[in-house]
Structure 1
Amino acid sequence: MKPTVQTLLDRDELGLGLVTPADGLPTDALAAPVAWAHSSDLVDPTPFLDAGHVLLTTGTQFDGDQTGADAAGFAHAYVERLRERGVAALGFGTEVIRDGTPVALVEACTRLGLPLFEVPYRVPFIAIAKLVADLLSEDAYARQAWAFSAQRAISRAALRPDGLSATLGELSERLGTWVGLVDATGALDREAPAGGLAQPALGEVVGEARTMLRRGQRAGRTLLAGESVGEPQRITLQTLGAGGALRGVLAIGDSPQLDQAGREVVTSVIALAGLSLEQNRNLDRARGHLRTGLLRSLLSGDTALAEGVATEMWGPLPGAPVRIAVTDAPGPAFDRMSELLELHVDERDGRLFFARDDDRVVLVLEAPDSALAEELSTEFEVPVGLSDAVGLDALAVAHEQALRALDRAREAGSRGSDDDARTPRVVAFDEISRQGVLAFLARTDARAVAIATLAPLVEHDEASGTALVETVRTWLEHGGQFDATAQQLGVHRHTVRSRIALAERLLDRDLSGFHARADLWAALLAVQ
């Protein structure tokens, strides 16, 4: 610990006596750190002083002939210059030039809050300067020893199974403050201690980290978070990784340990964290390639190979019956999606498999676990297709079903209202398989043809206020039975006959045959 004014006063060998009343000084005046001790009898020694210095004087600059207002004014101006310079304390050597300390100087120091102590004649100023130098050397050695010990502990922590978390935890403990890591996607990846920084300060830190990541440049800055609730906290942020390829942002709360030695420790953690994140990225990429290869084995029917490798790496494959879920994996969200799925894999001791397939993510999950598809759709705002429940020997079929369901989920978002489009949905294959094979005609090209086919009926309904489209749909749903259609629509059967005849003329086709009816029904499905 650096020496303070109180440290000097407490040294019995110096015998220093505080002249200014302690209770009249600023609260932290005696706890102010001392950076050096310097002696001078100049009228204005401030050009040779720095903040934190203790000035020692024998008082030759104080004219013994001055009395009253002159002496008080001179002393006040002298002390005021010292205070403005940041001098920590003033020591007056007695019985050298004059007996005791000038009253005007004592009053000025008391009034301006500058600690003033007397130095006995037997104590040379050099003894005080030497003591300060020795204490500063001891502090510097202690801080270097602390930094060395901290760096060793952090290096050992980096070798643990979850080296990055252990490293941040060790840094937090050594600094006695909160430490957090925001990953490359802008999410809080980990922190120590957990919950150590409350809202809204945490949200402000994450928001600033995201701004730094978007800029893509190596940078460091200090943020005063939590001011809005009257609890400001000084947080230091530093990017990790090279410019243009940032891996995250390290955030560190304020700490008295963040001196030169503390900053050296933080620098080593930044290097270790950057290296760890880069290694994790490379490892994740390799594991991702492995997962993709195992997915292809599963879809080709080689479940034994995939089962053996997956069990060694993550745990057993899901038990049958299983479903396959397929979702879009936009580039910026893929890393976050992978991290979330890795957590789910750990929670299930395996029994969940996922892999990247081009621009999609494919999940193999146990049939009762299909709520995970809803979680992905909500969390990442992506459409998800979900297959029927099948055995492990039918994964290729399930994969094709999930792809078709994903197509329909995409369409549901693109054709819905603005609110629907912002909330992609999960579509299960059985939702569309119940509609039959004709349901798959509802694609962009088939829809355009269907709209053109039905245009004469739609235009007539709009121009004349008729209900030809509704009548034709209901008639086809009832197998071409006029009585049942009339009953459903609440009109006379002759009205239905008349409308169908008009529809035949407008469409220029005979609806008495199966082919024409099937084609018209497909058109209605495609625009539904």
Structure 2
Amino acid sequence: MKPTVRTLLARDDLALTLLTDEASLPGTALDAPVPWVHNSDLDDPAPFIEPGQVLLTTGTQFGADAGSDDPAGFDAYVARLAGAGISALGFGTEVVRAGTPALLVEACAKHGVPLFEVPYRTPFIRVARTIAELNAADANARQAWALQAQRAISLAALRPDGLGATLGELSNRLGTWVGLVDAAGALDREAPVGGLGQPALGEVVGEARSMLRRGQRASRTLEAGASVGRPQRMTLQTLGAGGALRGVLAIGDSPELDQAGREVVTAVIALAGLALEQNRDLDRARGHLRSGLLRSMLAGDVELAAEVSAEMWGPMPADPVRVAVADLPPDHADRLAEFLELRVDDRGGRLFFGRDGESVVVVCEDADRDVADELAGEFDVPVGVSDAASVTELARLHEQALRAVERARETSPGVVWFDDISRQGVLAFLARTDARAVARATLEPLIEYDREQGTTLLETTRTWLEHGGQFDATAQELGVHRHTVRSRIALAEKLLGRDLSGFHARADLWAALLATE
């Protein structure tokens, strides 16, 4: 711990006496670190003093005759010292004067400068040497702390989740919150979990995203949470090279963030940057392997994939399995892969995934179907899920998942289950973009006629087809006479140029109606 004025006052060997009433001093006046002790009897030593230093004087500048003391002179002297930012003033007695001038005591109390008396038997050099020794001891202690912390952090980096363990150790050593925002701008890891609440966390992540968008190596200091009256000083540092940033390390304020603490943080930044680069390369290699195994499985060679998977991650999912296909989020592909890798670890390998173009294919046990909802919710992407069947039918299940994700893309991001759309029948699959255009052209005569004449030919035709061409049932549904229905259908046939008495014409018209929904 760095020495302070209070440290000096507590030393019996120095026998210093505080003359200023502590209650009249600023709250931390006696506890500010003292970097050095300087002595001078100049009338204005301020130009030669650095902030935080202690000044010692014998009072030669005031003269030996107390009867000629000038209150304004003492006040101006102390004011200059206060402006220079000294930590305290020490007055050496029995050299020029028998005691400390009362006017000096008053001036120090007025300007909030601690004043202590140095007895004749205590040389100034002893006071200076004491501060030097204490600062040296503190520097050695801090250096030892830094070496110990760096060793602990290096050992943490060797653990299975080396990056997470490293951040956890840094948080523990600094006694503050530490977070990592990944290259996509999402909070990847934090220690302790939940240690930084809102809105401070949102402000930190927002600033990190701004730094990532600029793409340049940089550091920032942020007062997070000030809007709710709880400001927290945060330091943000980019990771990786300029133009290829891998993330941002965020660290809360800590009394440990002195020179030694910054050295530890620098070591963590280097380790984290290296870990992110290595993880990226390793994840890319794993991704290529997974994609190759996926193609092998879809080609029918499940046995080879199962053997490799068992060596790498654990046994393949047990029957019955489902296949889920999800679109890759453009800015979060790496995070999605890590998200799935963690779930593979949680399940001992009984979940497999691989990249297929711009999509990711997940093979999971039927009991793990909730992973589809997790994907859709976490990454805001469309997901299609197949029926449950044996892994030997993977190609068929993959085809089902592809059809389901096509339907999911037509709506908002979310999960579509193949068994839900299969119950709608084959005609439901006609609602694709190309079929919709043809259907619109087919129905255009009815749509145009209704728009110009204010009629309901399209609605009548739909209701008539829904009731299997029954005029009475249609009339009852629409609340009109059956002859009205007949005349409307006849007009529709004329406008469409089709005879709707046959099954083929009716089925084609019904498909057009479905495709335009």
TM > 0.5 fold call: yes
In structure 2, do the counterparts of structure 1 residues 527 and 128 end up closer, same or farther at CA, with 3 Å as the change threshold?
Answer: same
Give the aligned partner of residue 89 of structure 2: 90
C-alpha distance in 2 between matches for 1:308 and 1:124: 81
Residue 85 of structure 1 and its aligned partner are, at CA, apart by: 0.6
In structure 2, do the counterparts of structure 1 residues 100 and 327 end up closer, same or farther at CA, with 3 Å as the change threshold?
Answer: same
C-alpha distance in 1 between matches for 2:416 and 2:132: 75
In structure 2, do the counterparts of structure 1 residues 63 and 441 end up closer, same or farther at CA, with 3 Å as the change threshold?
Answer: same
C-alpha distance in 2 between matches for 1:339 and 1:9: 57
Contact 2:66 2:101 in 1 (8 A): no
- Per-residue CA deviations over 1:382-401 (Å, capped at 9, x if unaligned) read 22222222221111111112
- Per-residue CA deviations over 1:262-300 (Å, capped at 9, x if unaligned) read 111110111001111111111111111121112112111
Give the aligned partner of residue 4 of structure 1: 4
C-alpha distance in 1 between matches for 2:330 and 2:409: 17
In structure 2, do the counterparts of structure 1 residues 452 and 367 end up closer, same or farther at CA, with 3 Å as the change threshold?
Answer: same
C-alpha distance in 1 between matches for 2:298 and 2:199: 47
C-alpha distance in 2 between matches for 1:95 and 1:515: 122
C-alpha distance in 1 between matches for 2:238 and 2:33: 32
Residue 503 of structure 1 and its aligned partner are, at CA, apart by: 1.9
Q: Which moved more, 1:385-394 or 1:20-29?
A: 20-29
Give the aligned partner of residue 272 of structure 1: 271
Residue 3 of structure 1 and its aligned partner are, at CA, apart by: 1.6
Give the aligned partner of residue 29 of structure 1: 29
**Residues 285-364 of structure 1: pairs in structure 2 closer than 5 A:** 285-364=284-363
How many residues get paired? 517
Q: Structure 2: which amino acid aligns with 1:378?
A: G
In structure 2, do the counterparts of structure 1 residues 98 and 297 end up closer, same or farther at CA, with 3 Å as the change threshold?
Answer: same
Residue 5 of structure 1 and its aligned partner are, at CA, apart by: 1.4
Q: Which moved more, 1:259-268 or 1:211-220?
A: 211-220
In structure 2, do the counterparts of structure 1 residues 385 and 278 end up closer, same or farther at CA, with 3 Å as the change threshold?
Answer: same
Give the aligned partner of residue 511 of structure 1: 500
Q: Which moved more, 1:263-272 or 1:138-147?
A: 138-147
C-alpha distance in 1 between matches for 2:413 and 2:191: 35
C-alpha distance in 1 between matches for 2:370 and 2:7: 65
Give the aligned partner of residue 425 of structure 2: 436
Give the aligned partner of residue 108 of structure 1: 107
**Residues 411-422 of structure 1: pairs in structure 2 closer than 5 A:** 411=410, 413=411
Give the aligned partner of residue 486 of structure 2: 497
- Per-residue CA deviations over 1:26-69 (Å, capped at 9, x if unaligned) read 3322222211111111100111111111111111100345647x
Q: Structure 1: which amino acid aligns with 2:489?
A: I
Same amino acid, percent of matched pairs: 72
Q: Structure 1: which amino acid aligns with 2:459?
A: E
Q: Secondary structure at the match of 2:331?
A: helix
- Per-residue CA deviations over 1:454-499 (Å, capped at 9, x if unaligned) read 1112222233343322333333344444444444444444333333
Contact 2:64 2:96 in 1 (8 A): no
C-alpha distance in 1 between matches for 2:27 and 2:385: 68
Q: Structure 2: which amino acid aligns with 1:73?
A: A
Give the aligned partner of residue 63 of structure 1: 63
Q: Secondary structure at the match of 1:182?
A: strand
Contact 2:384 2:406 in 1 (8 A): yes
Q: Structure 2: which amino acid aligns with 1:399?
A: H
- Per-residue CA deviations over 1:249-268 (Å, capped at 9, x if unaligned) read 11111111111111111101
Residue 52 of structure 1 pairs with residue 52 of structure 2:
yes
C-alpha distance in 2 between matches for 1:177 and 1:102: 47
Contact 2:170 2:178 in 1 (8 A): yes
Q: Secondary structure at the match of 1:61?
A: helix
C-alpha distance in 2 between matches for 1:274 and 1:468: 67
C-alpha distance in 2 between matches for 1:366 and 1:358: 23
C-alpha distance in 1 between matches for 2:431 and 2:32: 79
User: Which of 406, 426, 441 is matched with 2:415 structurally?
Assistant: 426
Give the aligned partner of residue 468 of structure 1: 457
C-alpha distance in 1 between matches for 2:22 and 2:369: 72
Give the aligned partner of residue 418 of structure 1: none
Q: Secondary structure at the match of 1:320?
A: coil
User: Unaligned stretches of 5+ in structure 1?
Assistant: 414-422
Q: Structure 1: which amino acid aligns with 2:360?
A: V
Give the aligned partner of residue 390 of structure 1: 389
C-alpha distance in 2 between matches for 1:525 and 1:201: 50
When normalised by structure 1's length, the TM-score is 0.92
Give the aligned partner of residue 416 of structure 1: none
Contact 2:329 2:379 in 1 (8 A): no
C-alpha distance in 2 between matches for 1:106 and 1:305: 89
Residue 521 of structure 1 pairs with residue 510 of structure 2:
yes
Q: Secondary structure at the match of 2:54?
A: strand
Q: Which moved more, 1:483-492 or 1:239-248?
A: 483-492
In structure 2, do the counterparts of structure 1 residues 157 and 497 end up closer, same or farther at CA, with 3 Å as the change threshold?
Answer: same
Give the aligned partner of residue 401 of structure 2: 402
- Per-residue CA deviations over 1:308-340 (Å, capped at 9, x if unaligned) read 222333332222222212121132022232233
Residue 159 of structure 1 pairs with residue 158 of structure 2:
yes
CA RMSD of aligned residues (A): 2.1
Residue 458 of structure 1 pairs with residue 447 of structure 2:
yes
